[in-house]
Amino acid sequence: MKILVSGVGGLVGAAVARRFGDLAEVFGIENNTRRDLFGPSADISQNLKRLQKDCPGLRVEVCDIRSAETVLKLCEDQRFDAFVHCAGQPSHDLSGRFPALDFSINVVGTHNLLEAARLTRPDAPFVFLSTNKVYGDFPNSIPLRETHSRFEPADPASRRGFGEDAPIDQLGHTPFGAHKAAADLIVQEYGRFYRMPTVCLRAGCLTGAGHASVSAHGFLSYLIRTALRGGSYIIEGHKGKQVRDNLAASDLAELIALIISARPQGGVVYNVGGGAANAVSILEAIECLLQWQGVKLRWSYSETPRWGDHIWYVTDLARVCRDYPQWEPRKDLRMIFDEIAAWSSDEAKIVRG
């Protein structure tokens, strides 16, 4: 089987490439746009080198998904059996400053890959990494209560999380959320109109070792790396009590492998995340760091919340677990913290030489 993975140097793309390893011929698309977007600390070249060492069969095409011609040519030459589209501009803040750039990557780039799939292998599964930000600020509209360390829904029945029936329109999104929602709808439509086996995975916080995290993207990894480097972290708004659920990229890659082998129906949407058990507020994450890694994070507080930040977001995994009962998040928060911390220490040794 030949699989195309866009954004293969990123967190999710690399996890998917590792999951398939020698089991498939993996072709990655990457051009280090992440460094251009976020600066040198987001450079993915080291991660890519390590990935190529771990997966000797991996082929990486230096290619920009914004070029329809290049993407189509690659797909015509290779006739892929599956597509996993992970390349994207992932930050709200950046999308507000550069909306046209965000549109070109998240909407045009997605459409280019879909069209290339339709013209070459319309029968091949196409998995798109969408986001819970398609629900805009709807999650912030439910009544919350405040505890000493977090916000949470006032109604206990809501604490199982947000399902796919949450609304996506008539809401504030930021350009990033709107563009990802547009791409998500286009992916669904290719499933319905052209009957292609397309799937949108609306992810909460994804995390793991090897994320070139920065303050604008990669919450848990950035927090842990900042602590281990002795840096200082800025909590932005909501008293640090905003809650996210966290899913290890390797667990997500496992789900993607199951979806590909199941040859899904077209236009399917799943919310994916770590679920209630893997949910943590920023204050709680700082406490976990102290308990589990013995590291005290220096932090300061800014009253202004980040654009698009959800105050409480937990994924309701009911639909994805109904369709893929053999899947569940296997890495709990402790395992995720340990994994990121171990990788960060290795990384620091490499930087020190």
Ligand X SMILES: NC(=O)c1ccc[n+]([C@@H]2O[C@H](COP(=O)([O-])OP(=O)(O)OC[C@H]3O[C@@H](n4cnc5c(N)ncnc54)[C@H](O)[C@@H]3O)[C@@H](O)[C@H]2O)c1
Give 130's Cβ-side CA count (13 Å radius): 33
140-144, Cβ contacts within 8 angstroms, sequence gap of 24 or more? 140/310, 140/311, 142/312, 144/311, 144/312
Asked if 314 contacts 162 with a C-beta cutoff of 8 angstroms, the reply is yes
Dig out the tokens for 159 from the structure: 């604490």
Nearer to ligand X, 11 or 336 (CB): 11
Residue 236: which region, alpha, beta or left (left: phi > 0; alpha: psi -120 to 50)?
beta
- Nearest approach, Cβ of residue 198 and ligand X (Å): 15
Altogether, the residues listed in the chain come to a count of 353
Q: Which residue is nearest to ligand X, using beta carbons?
A: 10
Nearer to ligand X, 11 or 311 (CB): 11
- Nearest approach, Cβ of residue 195 and ligand X (Å): 24
Nearer to ligand X, 92 or 123 (CB): 92
- Nearest approach, Cβ of residue 63 and ligand X (Å): 6
- Nearest approach, Cβ of residue 324 and ligand X (Å): 18
Nearer to ligand X, 45 or 157 (CB): 45
Residues forming contacts to ligand X in the complex (CB under 6 A) are 7, 9-13, 29-34, 44, 64-66, 86-88, 90, 105, 109, 129, 131, 203, 205-206
Nearer to ligand X, 29 or 289 (CB): 29
Asked if 137 contacts 308 with a C-beta cutoff of 8 angstroms, the reply is yes
Distance CA 271, CA 218 (A): 18
- Nearest approach, Cβ of residue 294 and ligand X (Å): 26
